[in-house]
Structure formats: structure tokens, C-alpha cells
Amino acid sequence: MKRLVIISVTIALTLIPLFAHASAGMARLTLTQGDVLLFDNESNDWVPAAVNTPIEEGDRIWCPEAAKAEIQLKSGSVIRLGSKTSIDVVRLSDDEQQVYLGSGRLYARTAPDDRELQIDTEDATVSLGRKSRVHVDILGGENPDTEVSVLKGSAYVEGSSGKTRVRSGEDLIFSENGAEIAQLNPPDKWELWNADRDRKSSRKAANHHLPEELVIYEDELAANGEWVQVEDYGYAWRPTIVAEADWVPYQQGRWVWRRGGYVWIASEPWGWAPHHYGRWYHSTRYGWCWVPPRRGRLLVPGIRGLGGYATRPGLGTAGTGRNLLRLRILRQSQHQYNQC
């Protein structure tokens, strides 16, 4: 028999994750074009990847022909993958980010505060400096070479023949015969696409209402909503680009089982921060508004069990009546979650 449980949440709170993996919240997919695939260790199979999918240590990503993907790191750094590109995520922490490029083309843009971003290939280790823009390409067939092109900043490339610093405007091909530095070639379509994407993402929001830990999401929120003053909480953010007039949080998207817990993957491109941090509040004037957490009170995205049932992270309400959000959780052999 199906068991239906209605849970009324009447206290404003931030739910503590119970099943979150150690590297959860360190990275997410911010763009997918084409049939981007993520290897699922539990099913031992490749599955389609979507925007806002959390990326964790041990993940493998494959972009087949004509596909592209973008990964945003917690530091604000960005990694983009081109056509026919595969990577393994080796390390994700506050102090170190490391990926292995098995094939294809990778572009990385490091943030001002990024301590270390390392790209490994079969024959080289590329360590990027802060505020750098670097292309790493795997060239050739059976015996591929690594090419490192630095558009801005610098990178250290290390292999069997030693360590070489590559500066802005320089190109290095690292092979079994050694390293050779030359001037950059004219940009191709892949490089021009990355430059255009960088220009679009470099616009800075005027408002600063997020804690330092979430400031990398300020531009994304500013482009899709506005900050308003709400009763009891002060500044809160509300989406202004929504498909439905009666929009509610945790409606557009799906729950996905990742590394021992369910994680909400929002369909809205701006949905990462509001659905994983802070709380939602229903204002009689503005409708649903997201209240960000205070500085130093962030939690890793995940879920928590409540009375034996799973509840949505970052979801809280205050008061009664219109401010009350009810969660309907249908518990079956296969969990289903529906907004009511």
C-alpha cells in the first residue's frame, strides 16, 4: 500500500545535509550543449548530464562530437570542455582542484582567489596561476602530445624533461621529445567561443547581498531576479524570469541520487544557490523569496532525513497560512517527490 505523508514545515530553518559527499558543493555544471554524459558509478553506465548537476571527486565527464560543457568551481574558476573531450575529476577541495584530461580540448579560467588548479594529461602536469586563461589540448592519435596555450596570466608545465613556465601570449607543445615554446596562433572557433563566453560572464552585479562564500553567484542572480526588502528577513532575492505565474520553489527540476543521497537538480539556470543554500520565504507582497544564509553559516548541499523521510534542503518557511509550505512525500519502493 502506498503511504502518503504530509509534513508541515513551520519554522524558518536551513536543513542540515546528512548524506552529502565530502566534495559536494565544490563544483557544478553550468552549461551543457549536445549530449554531455556523466559516468554513474552505481549503475556503471553513462547517463545524460544537465545544468546544475553537482560535480564531485571521482566523476567522469564525456563530451562527444559537437558537444560542450562548462563546470564552475566553488572558487569561481571555470573549466570548459570541447568536442570529443573526456575528463576525470581527481580532486576537489578548498585548497586544490585537479582534473585529468584524457582526450580533447579544455579551457580553464582561474579566479583571483583560486589557490591551485591543476590539469593533468598523459605526459604533462599543468598548474595554472591566479587570474589566468589557459587552453590545454591533446593533439595527435596513438601518441598524443599536450599543447598549452596561455592567453592571460601564466602556467607551469611539468613533464619528464623538466618544468617550464609558459607566460601570456605563449604556446607550448609538450611531447616525449621535450618542450617547445612559440607564439600563440590565431584563435580558432573553439577559442573564439570561449572568449565570447568570458565576456558575457564578466559583467558585474551592482548589488552585494550575498555572503562572501556565495559571491560567485551574484551575477547569475542579478540577471534573473531582483533583491527586495521582506518582513522579518531584510534583503531577499526573488526570481523575475519564471515560466509560470504561480511558480514555487522545487517544482521545476528533479531529484537525483548522488553518492548516497538525493540532490535537487533545478531546471532553472539560476537554480543552484537558491535551492541549495539559505531558505525560501513566502512574502504576501512579493511571493516566494530566497533568503541567503549569513556569512560562515553555509552548509554543503545535500538532504537530511526528517522523521524517517527525506526533505528538501534549503527550504524553510515562517509563520502560518500563506507562509506555510507543505511538502508531500510519497514513499514507495521508488521514492517520488511532488510539490503540493
**pLDDT of the residue at 203:** 63
CA distance 313 to 302: 6
DSSP 215: G
Distance, C-alpha 198 to centroid of its chain: 16
Q: Which of 54-68, 88-102, 180-194, 231-245 has the lowest mean pLDDT?
A: 231-245
pLDDT, tens only, 206-246: 668 899 889 889 999 999 999 999 988 999 999 998 867 78
Q: Which of 29-43, 151-165, 221-235, 236-250 has the lowest mean pLDDT?
A: 236-250
Residue 40 scores a pLDDT above 60: yes
CA distance 328 to 330: 6
pLDDT tier at 68, thresholds 50, 70, 90? very high
Mean pLDDT, the chain, whole residue set: 80
Q: Which of 66-70, 148-152, 258-262 has the lowest mean pLDDT?
A: 258-262
> Closest Cα partner for 220 from 72, 82, 114, 75?
72
For residues 84 and 298, the model is more confident at 84
For residues 321 and 39, the model is more confident at 39
Domains along the chain with CATH numbers: 3-17+204-339 (no CATH), 27-201 (2.60.120.1440)
Q: What are phi and psi of 125, to 5 degrees?
A: -120, 125
Decide if 168 contacts 144 (C-beta within 8 A). Answer: no
Decide if 52 contacts 31 (C-beta within 8 A). Answer: no
pLDDT, tens only, 264-318: 999 999 999 999 899 999 999 999 999 999 876 555 444 433 232 333 444 433 3
Grid cell digits, residue 3:
503511504
Average pLDDT over residues 253-262: 85
Q: Which of 45-54, 107-116, 162-171 has the lowest mean pLDDT?
A: 107-116
